[in-house]
Structure 1
Amino acid sequence: MRRRLLLAAGSLVVAAGLVLAAKGFGGVSPAPVASADGLPPATAKVVEADLVQTEHVSGTLSYGTPEALTAPAKPGTITWLPPSGSIVKIGQPVYKIDQDPLILLRGTIPPYRTMKVGMSGSDVKQLEQNLAAFGYTGFKVDNDFTAKTKKAVQQWQEDLGVEETGQVDASLIVVAPGDLHIGLPAIGVGDVVGETNLPILTVSGAKQKVTVALDVAKQHLVKNGVKATLTLPSGKAVAGTVTSVAKVATAPEGTDGQQTGSPTITVELELADPKAAGGLDAAPVDVALVSAERKDVLTVPITALVALAEGGYGVQVVSGTSVSYVKVQPGMFAGGKVEISGAGIEAGTLVGVPT
């Protein structure tokens, strides 16, 4: 038995080294040492588990590409700006001109006219949808601005502390798909805006996301809904989900117009717990994408796998005070474990682990 143990030990160094090199780690596993009674120094049970291999790529955590927010065609003085880095929610003022707040509404139709009684259109419906979301009632949400809509608008204006005209001036609302993250101001409080649209602020979406420029050779790893693990600069790992995969690849070009790198596609991911990012912007993130997965397979620690003298691989099966070598077929390696299958190998089987 001692001769066999030594043969197995000499082979184990080679097997473990190959496995570790394949996984990208360094070092050599120590040779197994048998105890005085012939039993291995440590044991582990065969466990049924899921194995996942990952591909690590670099990403950037941010609020997205900032866009300029311009002033409406209404002369006046900027009297208030939100702090850079703050979040403006739907229904809140984005900035103020002559102390009149420009209120953020949810939607996709930009303000282009003064809405009042008798008007119809999708912009009216968008306004009424926002009023209803703010809790105002007494009108029907449709395309028509009626006297009932006017009454709700006047109540809204009273609550805002502005003149209760019952009309909604295009110059006093800002429309966006959702809450806004405030970037750097283009002008300051006290500056005067005229009839030309001037940049006031840079804004982006309020939801942080991770953007990855993924090599096209790895695009098979991603599609909408795919889960990933995102490691933040703090070292904290959080769950993420792929929400967008670009259909067109781009390639970096030098000043001479020649391609200087591999083509990439833009991939966006959302954090399952947005609070975990803590307001970070333009921060590097490690993104672990699943490259292969095996579910409900029998696994043992990689160090339990030994190279047999007659060829192939096996494990030391421990039963009471006896030890026997059982040939196994290795499968996927992941997370320090290896998938195995073989005659008599089942969940709960006790195997030797060299230390």
Structure 2
Amino acid sequence: MRRRTAIGVTAAVVALAGAGTAAVVAERRSGGAPAGAPPPGATTTVRRETLAGSVSVDGELGYGEVVPIAAKAPGTVTWLPKVGATIKRGGVMLRADNKPVVLLYGVLPMYRELRPGVEGPDVALLERNLRGLGYAGFTVDDEYTDLTGQAVRRWQEDLGREKTGVVDPSWVVVADGAIRVAGRPVRLGAPATGEVLSYTGAESVVTVKLDADKAGWAQPGVKVTVTLPNGKDTPGTVASIGTKAEPKDKGEAPTIPVTVALGADAPLGRLREGPVTATYVSERRKNVLTVPVAALVALAEGGYGLEVVGGSGPRFLPVQVGFFADGKVEVRGAGLAEGMTVGMPA
């Protein structure tokens, strides 16, 4: 992975050095203008604002991690969805002996038969999905009542399954949302028990592999800007961070995968895969006085200053420099104030 630091300590040193080579080297005398120094060719204003430094890292646009699906259906695979197909809640994942195996949303796998009298979080998962599919007449809780069984019968009838009012885990698969079929490791006629499909999330995401020792900024909810393969920028949000460092080539630091979610209105067009750049704010300085870096003047006695214009005439004001970002620099110093007009050395 290539890591490009847009703003930081290194950039600050380079920017300051660049400013120094372009600045007037002045012999300041009692705060007045240096002898023989030309008047500034242009001026700017000291402003109070927030400076934000950013770091860009390389990533890949895609659908995220590929996950295998293990089915428990007895019999033979008689139908599979196409690779790239999107399956939503209640959709058919495959057919075993021509009977549908369907997708439900959740995190707890179906591990037992559900029937009236059973209680537990898996019952609540089932009832939430029934409600999400439009079935009603029962209370969404952790109790499988006769009313739940009636809703299940209506669901089974719509699926073309036998109306037993009992949900067997062999014809239900659970995922945490809509999925996109990534692979079909089995063919029609294969046993329906085992890994029959692989999938990713249904929405486009960005995957960034960060050096493990530089991933501290990546926390769920952190905002980033993603530059897409078409050159357009779109906002993104860190959705998840891997928990296992992955080894790279020999001699290189291990990396951690970070998934960045994109907004629904991301300008992807027909793009679904390709290299991207994710940019995040590495440091933010609020309510500081700033000037363009080019306004800095190298003083003969050392350090930097600003050529203050107006009043009784130009004078040089020593300043301390702080944070650099976007061609600007934080400045501090006695007598420095917001709104001052300062020169821009030619």
TM range (shorter): 0.7 to 0.9
User: Retained in 2: the 8 A contact 1:215–1:262?
Assistant: no
Could you tell me which runs of 5 or more consecutive residues in structure 2 were left unpaired when the two chains were aligned: 1-9, 25-37
User: Retained in 2: the 8 A contact 1:116–1:166?
Assistant: yes
Matches within 5 A, 1:74-223: 74-81=74-81, 83-97=82-96, 100-160=99-159, 162-187=161-186, 191-194=188-191, 197-223=193-219
Could you tell me which runs of 5 or more consecutive residues in structure 1 were left unpaired when the two chains were aligned: 1-17, 33-37, 254-259
Which whole-Å deviations, capped at 9, do the CAs of 1:50-100 have from their partners, x for residues lacking one? 12223333333332321222443332453351x433332223222344554
Distance in 1, matches of 2:18 and 2:58, equals 22
User: Retained in 1: the 8 A contact 2:237–2:260?
Assistant: yes
Deviation of 1:343 after TM superposition, in Å, equals 2.8
Residues 1:198 and 1:25: Cα distance change in structure 2 (over 3 Å): farther
User: Which of residues 303, 308, 317 in structure 1 aligns to 2:294?
Assistant: 303
Distance in 2, matches of 1:272 and 1:348, equals 40
> Cα RMSD between the aligned structures?
3.4
Aligned to 1:7: none
Higher mean C-alpha displacement, 199-208 vs 299-308: 199-208
Deviation of 1:271 after TM superposition, in Å, equals 2.9
Distance in 1, matches of 2:20 and 2:83, equals 52
* Structure 1 residue identity aligned to 2:234: V
Question: What count of residue pairs does the alignment treat as equivalent?
Answer: 323
Task: Report percent identity of matched pairs.
Answer: 39
Residues 1:25 and 1:314: Cα distance change in structure 2 (over 3 Å): closer
Higher mean C-alpha displacement, 176-185 vs 156-165: 156-165
Q: TM-score, normalised by structure 2?
A: 0.78
Deviation of 1:205 after TM superposition, in Å, equals 2.6
Matches within 5 A, 1:1-355: 22=14, 39-81=39-81, 83-97=82-96, 100-160=99-159, 162-187=161-186, 191-194=188-191, 197-246=193-242, 249-252=245-248, 260-276=250-266, 278=268, 283-319=274-310, 322-354=313-345
* Structure 1 residue identity aligned to 2:40: P
* Structure 1 residue identity aligned to 2:235: A
Deviation of 1:48 after TM superposition, in Å, equals 1.3
Distance in 2, matches of 1:211 and 1:153, equals 39
* Structure 2 residue identity aligned to 1:132: R
User: Retained in 2: the 8 A contact 1:249–1:263?
Assistant: no
Residues 1:168 and 1:222: Cα distance change in structure 2 (over 3 Å): closer
Deviation of 1:338 after TM superposition, in Å, equals 0.6
